[in-house]
Structures are given as structure tokens and as C-alpha cells.
Structure 1
Amino acid sequence: MKVIAEPGEPQIVIVKTFNASRQLLFRAYTEPDLIKRWLGPADLDLVVNQLDPRHGGRWRWTHYDKAGKGYVFHGLYHGEPTPERIVQTYEFDQAPGTVYLNLITFDEADGVTTLTQRTLFFATEDRDLYVAGGMERGIRASMQQLEDLVTELKENP
């Protein structure tokens, strides 16, 4: 897996290859029961409060730590989500007004899918705060959990 955050650039690019179909990865991104099994660090519990994967649809979820403190994330889908790509805004309630855009693509060849997530920020400073907040730990944990999930789903559809 690659996590690319070039200095001075207001974006983060994540690239990971999965031995799974893009349809399976798309399901993992758009079905609430699957999202809560892979998204976020394992030491946080995830509740999917809302998920409407269609153009203009809203999504919202809350991560809870062991003390019960909630961390709320929310956004909108732009364009119709498909197994080829998802476009969505993303906002963290503890940083109101700092909105970023995620473009997630699923490129499949011979049963292997490369997931690329481009996260675009309005300002490099916003990106830098996101990185400083431990983003890479959560992304690495999530991508490993996603890999485990799609492997399990392939074996037990």
C-alpha cells in the first residue's frame, strides 16, 4: 500500500491492490453492515448512522472510543456511485467547515483491483492538520481490515 502526501500539495493519494473484484470492493464501501467491519482503527467501534449511496445522498458515521466519546464524520455523494468510482465530500464534526473531496476508483484487471483514493483539500494547511492527526494509522488499519473482509467474502459469498 502507498500513502502519498507530497509536501506543499493539498492532497493525499492512497493506492492499494486487492486480490478481489471491484464489485466486491464497491459493496464494502456501500453496504452499512460491511463498512462497519473495516472502516477505522480496530480499537474504535463504528456506527453507520446514515448511508444513501446515490447522487446527492448523505452518509454519516460515528466512531466511538473505549470511553464512549464519539467522533462524527459526514458528507454527500456526488454523481452516481458505481463499481468504477465513488465521489464524496467528507467532513469531521470536530473541524467544522473543513470539507474535503474523495475520489475513489476501483480499476480491475484479471480479478485484481487497484483501489486509488485521492483526497483533495482546499488548503495544504488543512491537509497537513489531517496528516498530523494520525490519518495514516487509521488508513493503514482500515485497508488491512478491508483486505481481510474481501478475502472472507470471496471465500464465503
Structure 2
Amino acid sequence: MTTTHRNETRIDVDPEVPLVRITREFDAPPAKVFRAHTDPELFAQWVGPRDTETRVDVFDCHTGGSYRFVTISDGEEYGFRGCFHEVRPDELIVQTFTFEGEPDGVALEKLVLEDLGDGRTRLTSTSLVDSFAGRDAFVASGMEVGVREGYERLDEVLAR
């Protein structure tokens, strides 16, 4: 008998600082989860809601590198870009994140991968923005749907 884990995405808004924390477990080892975040071909397969397509323009995932990708939904294109400040294989990615539609809004993101053993990984992502208004706009933009559906899509990529 095969047991499948239904991994829940937890999204918490910090009441003290303008920060969003996302926690999610995956049925895959850290190396595989890390690769899905750093390989542009894999990244494009899972990031964002199910009804979007992703085109990666630049994805130089190493300390000091940068990225830009575009999501396409109903014929509309939305650009995102940032810089990789620290990349440590299988354990950490620190990056900036900017939605080009709001170029003054920059988030500092930290993704930490924790090996839970038994081929499982916990990913904790924190996004710090410069104001509570900016954080609340970030959350109100539909980010929750994109994150949840994106991680469901990531489950599918990791299972292959």
C-alpha cells in the first residue's frame, strides 16, 4: 500500500514586521527541491498558478547572479526580476524579488531547505518588504493562489 502525503502550504503574515513566511514540505530530498528552484527549465514548469505559462529570460542562479521571468495569463504578460545574493546548494537561496508592474516594491527573500530525512524536505520562505502597506498589497495580489498552486505543480515536477 502506498501512502501519499498531502502537503499543506502555510502562509503567515508577521504582525510585528512587514514579512510573509511560507512553509511547505515536499516528498523529495533537498537536492531535488533545490534543483527545481535553480534550473530554469524546471522552474518554468511549476512557478505560479496553473492557468499561467512561464517564460524565463535570464536565470543565472549563483551568488551574484540575476533572474528575470515572465508569466503569461490570458494573453497578458507580467515580468519579475531580481538578484541572487547568496546561493548554497541544497540549503539556501537569498534573493531580491520585484514585480515589474510595481518597480519600487522590492522584497528580500530567503529560502531555507531543511532535510527532514526519509526523502522529505521542509522549505521555509520569508519575504521582507519595506512597509506593511507593501506587504499587504503583495498578499492581496493573489499571491496565495499562485504559491499554493505553484507548489502543487512543484509536487508534480518532483514526482517525475
Question: TM-score, normalized by length of structure 1?
Answer: 0.92
Q: 1:12 aligns with which of 9, 20, 23?
A: 20
* Pairwise CA RMSD: 1.1
Contact 2:82 2:98 in 1 (8 A): yes
Match of 1:132 among 137, 140, 145: 140
In 1, are the aligned partners of 2:14 and 2:21 still within 8 Å (CA)?
no
Match status 1:82 vs 2:95 = no
- 1:32 equivalenced with 2:40 (yes/no): yes
- In the aligned structure 1, how far is the partner of 2:126 from the partner of 2:14? 12
Q: Following the alignment from structure 1 to structure 2, what is the Cα–Cα distance between the partners of residues 47 and 58?
A: 15
- Per-residue deviation, 1:112: 1.2
* Alignment match, 2:99: 92
Preserved contact between residue 52 and residue 71 of structure 2 (Cα < 8 Å): yes
1:119: which partner in 2? 127
Partner SS, residue 144 of structure 1:
helix
SS in 2 for 1:54: coil
SS, match of residue 87 in structure 2: coil
Q: Which structure shows the higher strand fraction? A: 2
8 Å CA contact 1:14–1:117 kept in 2: the answer is yes
Taking only the aligned residue pairs, the percentage that are identical comes to 32
Change (3 A) 1:100 1:12: same
Show CA shifts across 1:67-109 (max 9, x none). Answer: x221000000002342100000000110011101110011002
Q: Which moved more, 1:3-12 or 1:111-120?
A: 3-12
CA contact (8 A) 1:55 1:78 kept: yes
For the residues of structure 1 that align with 2:47 and 2:106, how far apart are their CA atoms? 19
**Rounded Cα–Cα distance in structure 1 between residues aligned with 2:13 and 2:38:** 26
Query: 3-state DSSP class of the match of 2:124?
Result: strand
Residue identity in the other structure for 1:77:
F
Partner of 2:4: none
Map of 1:48 onto structure 2: 56
Aligned to 1:155: none
Does structure 2 conserve the Cα–Cα contact (< 8 Å) formed by 1:8 and 1:124? no
Q: State the distance in 1 between where 2:100 and 2:69 align.
A: 11
8 Å contact from structure 2 (residues 12, 22) kept in 1: yes
Unaligned runs of 5+ in 1: 153-157
Contact 2:63 2:87 in 1 (8 A): yes
